[in-house]
Amino acid sequence: MEKMRMESIDMTAQNIDKIAALFPNCITETADENGRLKKAINFDVLRQMLSSDVIEGDESYEFTWVGKKAAIVEANKPIRKTLRPCPKESVNWDTTENLYIEGDNLEVLKLLQESYLRKVKMIYIDPPYNTGNDFVYRDDFAMSGEEYAEESGQLDEAGNRLFRNTDSNGRFHSDWCSMIYSRLMLARNLLTDDGLIFISIDDNEYAGLKEICDEIFGEQAFLATFVWKRRASSALDKSKCSSDHEYVLAYKMKNFTAFRGIDKDYKGYSNPDNDPRGPWTTGDLTVGMTGDMRPNQYYDLVDPKTGKIYKPNYNRVWSYIPESMAELISDNRIVFPEDTNKRPMKKRFLSELDSSTNPQSTWMDNVGMNTESTKMMYELFGKSFFSYTKPESLLRALILQATDEDSIVLDFFSGSATTAHSVIKQNELDGGHRKFIMVQLPENTGEGSEAGKSGFSTICDIGKERIRRAGKKIKEENPLTTADLDIGFRVFKLDESNMNDVYYSARDYTQGLLTMLESNIKPDRTDLDLLFGCLLEWGLPLSLPYSSEKMEGCTVHTYNGGDLIACFDENIPDSVIREIAKRQPLRAVFRDSSFNGSPAKINVGEIFKMLAPDTRVKVI
């Protein structure tokens, strides 16, 4: 019977396996820190396999910084952590498909690698801009919190891995690049093959971010740099430019085809003559004279009803030669005016036009500025706790371009939860069923801050409450059309592993060690903790429905109708095991202590072989 890892996947080992599948001759063995053999790559052979011209020396085209290699290693390291469900802080826990996750986003992204691999249609992030006043993540998960605080002195008062990155820091840009690089490496794995990522940024790190995205997603994946006007211009020192804009970088995955486009305004279309082709408007029937115009495009155009003669205006000619013009007249596509002082025009039918246009790279007319988001916070809270939150209209414009009606939208720098609010609002407007995943570090707001005075101790507290209030407001304003609108969210909090400190990773287990362990699960962990921990490892989404039932005194959990059935009780009777097996779930999981010794475990295996041979069975 398989043992569950209860840790995030080892990205390095996965990458080595991928290379081994392509170039098996490049795989060798080396000893780890404990002297055990493990797979490794012979990079000299790999370089030779990839090119007849090996790059030697230190001259090559690349974007690098101090700490880049460490950032790559950090992204690939597995962690022994979990996401603990918090139904009491959630809204509509049993029915919602939305998620709100509290914790360091690098660690959370690692835990989501299997459950949401290639499932997220759109990612939007608004990371720290590295202005010299931002708090930036410092990632070193190999150390305990105490060791890190001792050695670096750069943890905040709550022990979070944040420090204020001022421009006096010798690694000012490098620290920021390392922070964003490792997170984008992991985020890319979650995007669907036709997905998009949007990243807000300003001039401070635009150049570095563009280089990093070109490397992670590929230069060919670059779609656009949208320019967003964030505020009205203000008077500054006359020697400086008033910077009133920010950027949104857009990158695509390989199968992305095109933006949805921006809907045109058809207010000027009508059908006064009941033309069977539907509403129409008029357009110019002439073009400016150029060198390639034919001489026969300059002629007298005669109204067949009145005999009135029209000549092209000065320096212009008719758009069509006489023969083509005659066909248009007979097809009722030319409008001759009743007022003979006006000009003939061509009918342009709504049914024959494209319904949308490509979005422009400047977002000014159809999205709001920071003042819009400030106004929204006042509507919800009576005050604003943030100075630079993005407006809902900007996020909804991006959501419209990048998503289908059932897409998943991820924001792992959630902040005030504008993205979640925008997803709910867009679903209300078009009847969609988009789902959101918000990830935010529970940063302290500070007792003296407006948020602290209002009872919000962390940014997460504000974000969750905003979603609650925004959802309630949307439902109250549109009760007839929002009956089925999902305004809920399941809350999860990043925490240490469900397993005791005596827990070893699966590869460390020996028979002698197993006999020494009485219980490998922490006493404060519930069945729900264990269930969702198993979902993460088995790669199941965290938003699906589940049920729990009593079976001969044992609690049996069924996830999504049989994707997984779990029972974490002690000494489970064979009759319960048989009933679970008869239901033929795709996966089944039990506690190691659910069985009284190895013979009982062997018996469980035999029961499943007989009644549910296709079920994968594991223990924790």
The region that residue 417 occupies, defined by phi over 0 for left and psi between -120 and 50 for alpha, beta otherwise, is: left
pLDDT in tens, 238-250: 556 767 789 999 9
Contact 340, 309 (CB under 8 A): no
pLDDT in tens, 414-438: 999 999 999 999 999 999 999 999 9
pLDDT in tens, 224-239: 999 988 876 655 555 5
Alpha-carbon span 124 to 558, nearest angstrom: 33
- pTM flag (> 0.85): no
pLDDT in tens, 203-219: 989 999 999 999 999 99
Torsion of CA 219, 221, 224, 230, to 10 degrees: -100
Q: Find the DSSP H helices in 478-597.
A: 511-516, 527-538, 574-582
pLDDT in tens, 571-587: 899 999 999 999 999 99
CA 341 to chain centre: 59
Q: SS3 string of 98-144?
A: CEEEECCHHHHHHHCCCCCCCCEEEEEECCCCCCCCCEEECCCCCCC
Alpha-carbon span 469 to 446, nearest angstrom: 22
Q: Which residue has the higher pLDDT, 345 or 230?
A: 345
Alpha-carbon span 89 to 92, nearest angstrom: 10
Quick check: helix, strand or coil at residue 501? coil
Quick check: helix, strand or coil at residue 343? coil
pLDDT in tens, 353-387: 765 566 777 764 567 777 788 888 889 998 888 87
Alpha-carbon span 98 to 408, nearest angstrom: 9
Domain boundaries, the chain: 7-75, 87-131+179-229+250-257+368-494, 280-349, 500-619
List, in sequence order, every residue forming a beta bridge with 222; answer none if it has no partner.
Answer: 251
Question: CATH fold of 87-131+179-229+250-257+368-494, please?
Answer: Rossmann fold (3.40.50)
> What would the two tokens of residue 30 be?
């080396």
pLDDT in tens, 7-31: 888 888 889 988 988 888 788 888 7
Alpha-carbon span 212 to 210, nearest angstrom: 5
* Spatial CB neighbours of 84, under 8 Å, sequence gap ≥ 6: 492, 493, 494, 495, 525, 529, 532
Q: Considering the chain, what is the average pLDDT of its residues?
A: 86
- What pLDDT, on a 0 to 100 scale, did the predictor assign at position 137? 64
Quick check: helix, strand or coil at residue 435? strand
